[in-house]
Structure 1
Amino acid sequence: MSETTQTFTPPSTQAERLIELGVHEIAGLSAAEVRAAAKGAGDVEGLGDAGEGALLAVRPDLAPASVLAPLLRRGDKAGFVVTDMTDVDLFAPLDTIDLPDTPLYLVGGVDRGDDMANWSPDEALPALTAASRTPLLLTEGIHWVLQRPDVLERNHCFMTIGSRLRKPKGTLDGRTPALWISNGTGRDGHERRDAPKAGWCWAGNRHTWLGFASAEGRRGLEP
């Protein structure tokens, strides 16, 4: 793992970034609650040094992807969700993911998964599970890029296969979410060239420029 894909500013600094962007208001939290939760991050066990390897995130049911994605920036370009993913907020954590029930939580040991580029999501998920790692949620990936815009690079972007859409009969929709950089083609529109983009790929397809973002685990934070 490179430095770009695994280090973060302290949770208190990340909290100020979320407050600056208004994420606390989206989630129905006060700035004081966010700061208090971040202050207690050092007491969280099981994620190593919370100041070096942990991402501060808000639960997806409080701050959904459709609202977070437009807060992303790459230069002067705002982020967006692809037009054929109007159901983006229905993509929920896989049943195997133990999501903390606190409004804010830490995601530890985050990695972009460059070594899995050109794998399909169907191939990557069991490999991550076997390695005792958990795939990132789409909202966690967005939080990551909000804190570290440089993590999205041309030819080095990532999938967030911890979020999936479940069909009425219980089977998984074939789409798997990802974050990458728009080329400004097709329905994206030329004006969105170089903008951060939340989109999807088929679970059985491979892409040389998409890794599989994952983490060691998650721990809740009390506001």
Structure 2
Amino acid sequence: MSATTPAASSVLPLLPPLSAQAERLIELGVHEIAGVPAEELRGFAAAAGAAAGCDGGALLAVHPDRAPASALAPLLRRDGKPGFVVTDMDDVDLFAPLDTVVLPDTPLHLLTGLDRGDTMANWSPAEALPALTAESRTPLLLTEGIHWVLQQPTVLERNHCFMTIGSRLRKPGGALDARTPALWISNGTGRDGRERRDAPKVGWCWAGNRHTWLGFASAAGRRGQDLGG
């Protein structure tokens, strides 16, 4: 489906153990943003890590209603520079899960089988979503993508960044806004400002456009605090 040869996939390091991920979120103050006691976060990570198949490679995430993208983005760091949301996306927290995304109704959840979607580089979001669905994969939400980079900063690299098309904004009439959120690295041009060059960036692209340097982050599934499927 791509107009050109997709970018080659990079080998990503494994995510830290869930216990270490919990401590990272506590260190950053995410538990306070979410109103989740530190011990609850630690307890969920411990229980999930002890459950068969719930640790190695799994990502710990907070529900977007508890920790919105606008609060998480500034916690990102690259070369000592904080993350930011582009100026023309002041409605970033209104981007909600697609109807097809099954999100556990709990403050905390896990994502398993993460993939940055490098093989879909130069696909449009409109092309990628049905392909992911056909593979029984679920696109990441914007906040989940931010959590991934918080835990594994090297997942965001030049020429290998990603979109999070599980989050979309609905217009008053119900139609989807044409913007699709993504995470990439600022070049420090335009309204970003030169001081933000190389900083992690939350932005958007049109749903019908292709970009050779953007894949489509997805997961095999999500598990809530009951650790069910």
TM-score tier after normalising by the smaller chain length: over 0.9
1:162 aligns with 2:139: no
Task: Find the residue that maps to 1:221 and give its secondary structure.
Answer: coil
Task: Return the offset for 1:51.
Answer: 2.4
Task: Return the offset for 1:10.
Answer: 1.2
The CA distance in 2 between the partners of 1:44 and 1:80, in whole Å, is: 35
The CA distance in 2 between the partners of 1:2 and 1:105, in whole Å, is: 26
Question: Cα RMSD (Å) of the superposition?
Answer: 1.4
Give the TM-score normalised by the residue count of structure 2: 0.93
Match 1:88 to one of 85, 92, 97: 92
Task: Return the offset for 1:44.
Answer: 5.0
1:29-108 aligned at under 5 Å gives the runs: 29-42=36-49, 44=51, 49-108=53-112
1:77-156 aligned at under 5 Å gives the runs: 77-156=81-160
Task: Find the residue that maps to 1:180 and give its secondary structure.
Answer: strand
Task: Find the residue that maps to 2:148 and give its secondary structure.
Answer: helix
Alpha-carbon displacement from aligned partner over 1:155-203 (angstroms, at most 9, x marks no partner): 0000000000011111000000000000000000000000000000000
Give the TM-score normalised by the residue count of structure 1: 0.95
Query: Which runs of no fewer than 5 residues in structure 2 stay unpaired?
Result: 1-8
Alpha-carbon displacement from aligned partner over 1:100-146 (angstroms, at most 9, x marks no partner): 01101000000000000000000000000000000000000000000
1:183 aligns with 2:187: yes
The CA distance in 2 between the partners of 1:187 and 1:216, in whole Å, is: 36
Task: Find the residue that maps to 1:184 and give its secondary structure.
Answer: coil
**1:105 and 1:220 in contact (8 A); partners too:** yes
The CA distance in 2 between the partners of 1:10 and 1:221, in whole Å, is: 17
Aligned length: 219
1:22 corresponding residue in structure 2: 29
